[in-house]
Structure 1
Amino acid sequence: MPRGGRWSSSHRGSSPPCRAGRARPSSTRRRGPSRSISGFIAYALCAADEALRDANWLPSENEKKERTGVSIGGGIGSISDILDASQLIAENRLRRLSPFFIPKILINMASGHVSMKYGFQGPNHAAVTACATGAHSIGDATRMIQFGDADVMVAGGTESSIDALSIAGFSRLRALSTKYNSLPQASSRPFDCGRDGFVIGEGCGVMVLEALDHAMERGAKIYAEVRGYGMSGDAHHITQPQNDGRGAILAMERALEQSGLQADQIDYLNAHATSTPLGDAVEATAIKSVFGHHATSGGLALSSTKGAIGHLLGAAGSVEAIFTVLAIHHGVAPPTLNLEQPDLLFEGAFMP
Structure 2
Amino acid sequence: MKRVVVTGMGIVSPLGNDLTSFWQALLLSKSGVRKLTKDHLQDSEHLEIKIGGTVEITTKDMEQLKYGKNKQNAMAFLASKMAMEDANWIPQTEDEKYRTGVFLGAVKSHLSPLLHVTHQIFKENFRIVPSEFYNHLNIFMTTSNVVTAYDIRGPTSAYGSACAAGQCSIAEGFNSIQDDDADVMIVGNADHGIHSYLLNGLNRLGALNRKYADEPEKASRPFDEDRGGFVAADGSGVLVLEEYEHAIKRNAKIYAELKAVSLCTESYHPTRPHLEGDGIFRTMETVMKRAGINPEDVGIIHTHGTSTTEGDSAEATAIGRLFPEPGPMIMGIKSNMGHMMAGVGGIQSAALILALKNGVVPPILNLKNPLKIGDRVLNYVMDKPREKEARFGITNNAGFGGLNCSLLFEKY
Specify if TM > 0.5. yes
- Give the letter for the 1:21 counterpart: E
Does residue 5 of structure 1 match 2:40? yes
CA contact (8 A) 1:199 1:311 kept: yes
Question: How far is 1:38 from its partner?
Answer: 1.9
Which residue among 152, 165, 169 is the counterpart of 1:120? 152
Which residue among 284, 300, 303 is the counterpart of 2:331? 303
Which residue among 205, 219, 234 is the counterpart of 2:266? 234
Partner in structure 2 of residue 320 of structure 1: 348
What secondary structure is seen at the aligned counterpart in 1 of 2:236? strand
CA contact (8 A) 2:219 2:231 kept: yes
> Please, what TM-score do these two structures have when normalized by structure 1?
0.93
Deviations 1:281-340 (A, max 9, x none): 01100111111x1xx22x410011000010000011111011111111111112111111
> Please, what TM-score do these two structures have when normalized by structure 2?
0.80
The structure where strand makes up a greater share of residues is 2
Partner in structure 1 of residue 307 of structure 2: 275
Partner in structure 1 of residue 358 of structure 2: 330
Change (3 A) 1:150 1:230: same
Q: Equivalences for 1:173-212 in 2 at 5 Å?
A: 173-212=205-244
CA contact (8 A) 2:68 2:141 kept: no
**Moved runs in structure 1, 4+ residues, more than 6 A?**
none
**How many aligned residue pairs are there?**
345
CA contact (8 A) 1:80 1:161 kept: no
Change (3 A) 1:23 1:133: farther
CA distance in 1, matches of 2:256, 2:135: 35
Partner in structure 2 of residue 111 of structure 1: 143
Sequence identity (%)? 32
CA distance in 1, matches of 2:212, 2:230: 11
CA contact (8 A) 1:7 1:163 kept: no
Partner in structure 2 of residue 350 of structure 1: 378
Question: How far is 1:105 from its partner?
Answer: 2.3
CA distance in 2, matches of 1:95, 1:322: 47
What secondary structure is seen at the aligned counterpart in 1 of 2:83? helix
CA contact (8 A) 2:370 2:377 kept: no
CA distance in 2, matches of 1:320, 1:105: 27
Partner in structure 2 of residue 22 of structure 1: 57
- Give the letter for the 2:283 counterpart: A
Does residue 159 of structure 1 match 2:187? no
- Give the letter for the 2:57 counterpart: R
CA distance in 1, matches of 2:58, 2:292: 40
Deviations 1:252-291 (A, max 9, x none): 1111111111111110000001000111001100111111
Question: How far is 1:82 from its partner?
Answer: 2.5
The structure where helix makes up a greater share of residues is 1
Structure 2: runs of 5+ lacking an equivalent: 1-32, 381-412
What secondary structure is seen at the aligned counterpart in 1 of 2:104? strand
Change (3 A) 1:40 1:12: closer
